[in-house]
Every structure is written in structure tokens, then in C-alpha cells.
Amino acid sequence: MDKIKQIAKMIDHSILHPTFDDEKLVKECKVAADYDVASVCVKPYAVKKAKTLLEGTDVKIGCVIGFPHGNSSIDVKVFETEVAIRDGAEEIDMVINIGKALQKDWDYIEEELSAVVAVTKRSGAILKVIFENDYMPDESYIIRLCELCTNTGCDYVKTSSGFGFVKQESGVYNYKGATIEHLRLMRKHAGPEVKVKAAGGVRDLDYFLKVMETGTSRVGATATIAILEAAKKRFG
């Protein structure tokens, strides 16, 4: 596989902003098809339409669950996952219950993961678990989440939703997203069969290449065109 195709097949093209309408979905699915990325990541109601738009391509359909804040009950996340898969999703990106993680209610997190994993395994779908690292007080929380995802059979651990805004030193609300340090930490503490997905803040080729060096397998991106056009210039 050449370098450009390798990069493209690491990208989950994100179509998740709350203001995106069906016209935007059509446009962005065309981008995903034209650049032959790994997948699109869409909102639950958009799965059916995305499946139709990408029929005949090699682009997989991904869907977010409990997005973006992870507050749905376990039963609702299970149902949402079942519906997304029924509608055509092959990959599921689920946000954990962040509050439960912050209070170290690891039994709840394990129950939640196990319940959704049961659905994805039964259906042959892939589960990516979003931690929202910006909310985690220190590395120990991320390490524990990696261990729980490994133990319950999740397919990926994922840094961020891209919507987990926290107050920065400047006073502005933003997020750090996928930091190199966190990606290395997750790769180290997730089991060898669990892959890592970076999301949030990967907006140019140089940073994308740094992410690749950490052993990350997928990257959620909205800057797909910019990244791949730069890759064509550098590696074409």
C-alpha cells in the first residue's frame, strides 16, 4: 500500500457537527468516496442515507452512540447501537458515561462496555470507545479505561469526541483532543488486540504523521481534504 492510500485508509471522515444538514451529508459523503477513506462517522439518523450514498464504495459506515457527552442509560446505548447496526452501520463510536468514570465507578463502566460489546460482537460490527481524555484528571483514569476496554473485548480506544470543551488557561473553552502523549499512553495500556483511534485536533499532515508514529490505527478528521491533498504533494 502506498503512503497516500495508507493515510486515507486511516481516516474516519467525521460528519458530526450539529448544524450539518442532509445537503452537507451528501457533500461530505462524496468527499469520503472521492478520497477513498476508511469510513464516514455520522449521526444516528444519517446512517441509512450515508449507506445509500456510499453504496458501491469501499468506505465503511460508522455511527456515534451516546454522543457527544455519554449520558444515555446503558439500555438506551444498547438500543441506539442495535438501531444503528440495523440501519447499516458497520462501526460504532460510543462515548462512555464520563461522570461515572470521574467518580471511579468502574463496575458501571464495565457493565456499560460489556452490554454494547455484546451487540457489536453479535452483529460483526466494530466498537470504538470514546474516553474524552480532556475531562480526565490524570493518566490513571485513561489507563484504567484502557484496561476495562481490553477486558471487555472492545475493538478500539478513542481519545475524544471533538466536542469535549474545557476551560483553557486563556479562559477560552476548547479541547486538546488527541495529544501524542495520550496516544502513546493508550497504545501502551490497551491490549495488543485493541487498536487506538485519535480524534480531535488532527488537522494537518505533519501532525497526522506524528500520530501515525504512536501506533494509532485510525484518525477521526474533518480536515480530510487538506490532509490528503498535502499527502499527494509530499508523497505523490
Which of the residues 77, 128, 195, 197 is marked catalytic?
A: 197
Residue 171 DSSP code: S
- Are 155 and 125 in contact by the 8 Å Cβ rule? The answer is no
How confident is residue 46, by pLDDT bands cut at 50, 70 and 90?
A: very high
Which of the residues 12, 93, 134, 155 is marked catalytic?
A: 93
Determine the pLDDT at residue 227: 98
48 has catalytic annotation? no
Partnered with residue 126 across adjacent β-strands are 91
158 has catalytic annotation? yes
Give the span between the Cα atoms of 64 and 216, in whole angstroms: 20
In this predicted model, what pLDDT tens digit does every residue of 167-215 receive, in sequence order? 777 888 778 889 999 999 999 999 999 999 999 999 999 999 999 999 9
The residue behind cell 439518523 is: 45
155 has catalytic annotation? no
Mapping DSSP to helix (H, G, I), strand (E, B) and coil, where does residue 43 land?
A: coil
In this predicted model, what pLDDT tens digit does every residue of 101-127 receive, in sequence order? 999 999 999 999 999 999 999 999 999
Which of the residues 51, 77, 158, 195 is marked catalytic?
A: 158
Q: Label the pairing between strands 166-167 and 173-174.
A: antiparallel
Going from the N-terminus, what domains does the chain have, and what CATH number goes with each?
Answer: 3-235 (3.20.20.70)
How confident is residue 1, by pLDDT bands cut at 50, 70 and 90?
A: low
The residue behind cell 460483526 is: 124
How confident is residue 232, by pLDDT bands cut at 50, 70 and 90?
A: very high
Examine the pLDDT at 162 and tell me if it is beyond 80.
Answer: yes
Measured from the Cβ of residue 15, the count of other Cβ atoms closer than 10 Å reads 22
